[in-house]
Chain A
Amino acid sequence: MTAGMSTASTLQTAARVRDGVKVYGTGHAAVTALAGLSVDFQRGEFTAIMGPSGSGKSTLLHCVAGLDELTSGSVFIGETELGLLKDRDLTLLRREKVGFIFQAFNLIPTLSAAENITLPLDIAGRKPDDAWYRTVVDTVGLGDRLTHRPTELSGGQQQRVAAARALVSRPEIIFADEPSGNLDSTSAGELLGFMEQAVKDLGQTIVMVTHDPVAASYADRIVFLADGEVVGELRDPTQDSVLDKMKQLGG
Chain B
Amino acid sequence: MLKLAWKGVLAHKLRLGLTAIAIVLGVAFVSGTLVFTDTLDRAFSSLFDEINATVDLYVRGETEFSNEVVPIPAEILDDVKEVPGIGNAAGTVQGFAQFIDAAGDPVGGQAPTFGFSWVPGAEDLSVLTIKEGRPPAASDEVMVDAGTAAMNDFTIGQEVDVILVTGTERFEIVGFAGFGEEDNILGATIAIFDEPTAFRVFDSPGEYASISAVGDGSVALETLVDRVNDILPDGFEAVTAETQGEDDQAEFQEAIGFLNTALLVFAGIAVLVGGFIIYNTFSIIIAQRMKEMALLRAVGATNRQVTRMVVVEAVLVGLVASAIGVVAGVGLTWLIRSGFDAAGVGFPQGPLTIRPNTVIVGMIVGLAVTLFSAVIPARQAARIPPVAAISEATVGGPRSLRVRAIAASVLTIIGALVLFLGLFVAGSNVLQLVGLGAVIVFFGIAGLSPLIARRTARIIGAPLPAMYGVTGTLARENSVRRPRRTAATASALMIGVAVVSVVAILASSIKQSITEQITQNFGTVDFQIQSSAFADPSLVGVSPAVSEELATLPEVAVVSPMRFGLWKNEDDSERQLISVDPATLESVFVAEVQAGQVADLATGGVMLQADTAEDLEVGIGDTVTMQFPLTGTEQVPVVATFTGEGLSAYLIGNESFSERFSQKLDFMVFVNLADGVAQDQGRAAVEAVLEPYPNVELSNQAEFIENQKAQIDILLTVINALLLLAILIALLGIANTLALSIFERKRELGLLRAVGMTRRQVRRMIRWEAVITALYGALLGLVLGIALGWAVVSALSDEGLSFGFPYQLLITYVIAAAIGGVVASVWPSFRGARTNVLEAISYE
Contact A94/B843 with A67-B837, A67-B838, A119-B470 known, Cβ cut-off 8 Å: no
Query: Which of A91, A98, A103, A106 touches B751 (beta carbons < 8 Å)?
Result: A106
Could you write out 26 A-B pairs with CB less than 8 Å apart?
A65-B754, A67-B838, A67-B841, A88-B758, A88-B760, A91-B758, A92-B758, A94-B755, A96-B756, A99-B755, A102-B751, A102-B841, A103-B843, A104-B843, A105-B751, A108-B752, A110-B474, A111-B470, A111-B473, A115-B470, A118-B470, A119-B752, A120-B756, A123-B752, A123-B756, A123-B761
Instruction: Report the bound CA distance from A118 to B755 in whole Å.
Output: 11
Contact A91/B477 with A62-B838, A123-B470 known, Cβ cut-off 8 Å: no
Tell me, yes or no, whether B94 is within 8 Å of chain A by CB.
no
- Is the Cβ of A102 less than 8 Å from the Cβ of B843? yes
Instruction: Report the bound CA distance from A107 to B751 in whole Å.
Output: 8
Query: Which of B470, B747, B748, B843 touches A122 (beta carbons < 8 Å)?
Result: B470
Chain B residues whose C-beta falls within 8 Å of the C-beta of A103 in the assembled complex: 843
- Is the Cβ of A105 less than 8 Å from the Cβ of B756? no
- Is the Cβ of B474 less than 8 Å from the Cβ of A111? yes
- Is the Cβ of A119 less than 8 Å from the Cβ of B843? no
Tell me, yes or no, whether B217 is within 8 Å of chain A by CB.
no
- Is the Cβ of A165 less than 8 Å from the Cβ of B755? yes
Interface hub of B752, B753, B841 (most chain A Cβ within 10 A): B841
Contact A92/B755 with A68-B838, A123-B470 known, Cβ cut-off 8 Å: no
> What is the minimal beta-carbon distance from B367 to any residue of chain A, in angstroms?
38
> What is the minimal beta-carbon distance from A59 to any residue of chain B, in angstroms?
10
Tell me, yes or no, whether B757 is within 8 Å of chain A by CB.
yes
- Is the Cβ of A108 less than 8 Å from the Cβ of B756? no
Task: Tell me the interface secondary structure of chain A in the complex.
Answer: mixed
**5 shortest A-B CB distances, which residue pairs?**
A95-B756, A122-B470, A110-B477, A120-B755, A94-B756
Tell me, yes or no, whether B13 is within 8 Å of chain A by CB.
no
Q: 1/0 contact trace for B477-515 toward A, CB 8 Å?
A: 110010000000000000000000000000000000000
- Give the interface of B toward A (CB within 8 A): 469-471, 473-474, 477-478, 481, 747-748, 751-761, 837-838, 841, 843
Instruction: Report the bound CA distance from A122 to B759 in whole Å.
Output: 15
Chain B residues whose C-beta falls within 8 Å of the C-beta of A3 in the assembled complex: none
Tell me, yes or no, whether A109 is within 8 Å of chain B by CB.
yes
Tell me, yes or no, whether A125 is within 8 Å of chain B by CB.
yes
Interface hub of A68, A106, A122 (most chain B Cβ within 10 A): A122
Instruction: Report the bound CA distance from A92 to B232 in whole Å.
Output: 96
Instruction: Report the bound CA distance from A119 to B473 in whole Å.
Output: 11
Query: Which of B469, B474, B837, B843 touches A108 (beta carbons < 8 Å)?
Result: B474
- Is the Cβ of A87 less than 8 Å from the Cβ of B759? yes
Tell me, yes or no, whether A218 is within 8 Å of chain B by CB.
no
Chain B residues whose C-beta falls within 8 Å of the C-beta of A31 in the assembled complex: none
Instruction: Report the bound CA distance from A107 to B469 in whole Å.
Output: 17
- Is the Cβ of B755 less than 8 Å from the Cβ of A119? yes
Tell me, yes or no, whether A124 is within 8 Å of chain B by CB.
yes
Which residue from chain B places its CB closest to the CB of A87 in the assembled complex?
B759
> What is the minimal beta-carbon distance from B219 to any residue of chain A, in angstroms?
90
Instruction: Report the bound CA distance from A65 to B478 in whole Å.
Output: 28
> What is the minimal beta-carbon distance from A57 to any residue of chain B, in angstroms?
13
> What is the minimal beta-carbon distance from B572 to any residue of chain A, in angstroms?
64
> What is the minimal beta-carbon distance from A126 to any residue of chain B, in angstroms?
10
- Is the Cβ of A91 less than 8 Å from the Cβ of B757? yes
> What is the minimal beta-carbon distance from B401 to any residue of chain A, in angstroms?
19
Tell me, yes or no, whether A46 is within 8 Å of chain B by CB.
no
- Is the Cβ of A105 less than 8 Å from the Cβ of B747? yes
Which residue from chain A places its CB closest to the CB of B471 in the assembled complex?
A123
Interface hub of B470, B748, B755 (most chain A Cβ within 10 A): B755
Instruction: Report the bound CA distance from A102 to B841 in whole Å.
Output: 8
- Is the Cβ of B469 less than 8 Å from the Cβ of A122? yes
Chain A residues whose C-beta falls within 8 Å of the C-beta of B760 in the assembled complex: 88
Instruction: Report the bound CA distance from A109 to B755 in whole Å.
Output: 15
Tell me, yes or no, whether A41 is within 8 Å of chain B by CB.
no
Instruction: Report the bound CA distance from A92 to B760 in whole Å.
Output: 12
> What is the minimal beta-carbon distance from B205 to any residue of chain A, in angstroms?
84
> What is the minimal beta-carbon distance from B743 to any residue of chain A, in angstroms?
16
> What is the minimal beta-carbon distance from B625 to any residue of chain A, in angstroms?
71
> What is the minimal beta-carbon distance from A122 to any residue of chain B, in angstroms?
3
- Is the Cβ of A95 less than 8 Å from the Cβ of B755? yes
Instruction: Report the bound CA distance from A98 to B755 in whole Å.
Output: 8
Contact A123/B751 with A67-B838, A94-B756, A111-B474 known, Cβ cut-off 8 Å: no
Instruction: Report the bound CA distance from A106 to B481 in whole Å.
Output: 18
> What is the minimal beta-carbon distance from B658 to any residue of chain A, in angstroms?
76
Instruction: Report the bound CA distance from A205 to B837 in whole Å.
Output: 23
Instruction: Report the bound CA distance from A88 to B748 in whole Å.
Output: 19
Chain A residues whose C-beta falls within 8 Å of the C-beta of B469 in the assembled complex: 122-123, 125
Chain B residues whose C-beta falls within 8 Å of the C-beta of A100 in the assembled complex: 754-755
Which residue from chain A places its CB closest to the CB of B748 in the assembled complex?
A108
- Is the Cβ of B843 less than 8 Å from the Cβ of A105? yes
Chain A residues whose C-beta falls within 8 Å of the C-beta of B748 in the assembled complex: 105, 108-109
Instruction: Report the bound CA distance from A104 to B750 in whole Å.
Output: 13
> What is the minimal beta-carbon distance from A158 to any residue of chain B, in angstroms?
12
Instruction: Report the bound CA distance from A96 to B46 in whole Å.
Output: 78
Which residue from chain B places its CB closest to the CB of A102 in the assembled complex?
B841
Chain B residues whose C-beta falls within 8 Å of the C-beta of A99 in the assembled complex: 755
> What is the minimal beta-carbon distance from B763 to any residue of chain A, in angstroms?
12
Chain A residues whose C-beta falls within 8 Å of the C-beta of B837 in the assembled complex: 67
Given contacts A92-B756, A110-B481, 8 further A-B contacts (CB under 8 A): A92-B758, A94-B756, A98-B756, A105-B747, A108-B752, A110-B478, A111-B477, A123-B761
Instruction: Report the bound CA distance from A104 to B754 in whole Å.
Output: 14
Instruction: Report the bound CA distance from A74 to B748 in whole Å.
Output: 29
Instruction: Report the bound CA distance from A92 to B758 in whole Å.
Output: 7
Chain A residues whose C-beta falls within 8 Å of the C-beta of B474 in the assembled complex: 108, 110-111
> What is the minimal beta-carbon distance from B140 to any residue of chain A, in angstroms?
80
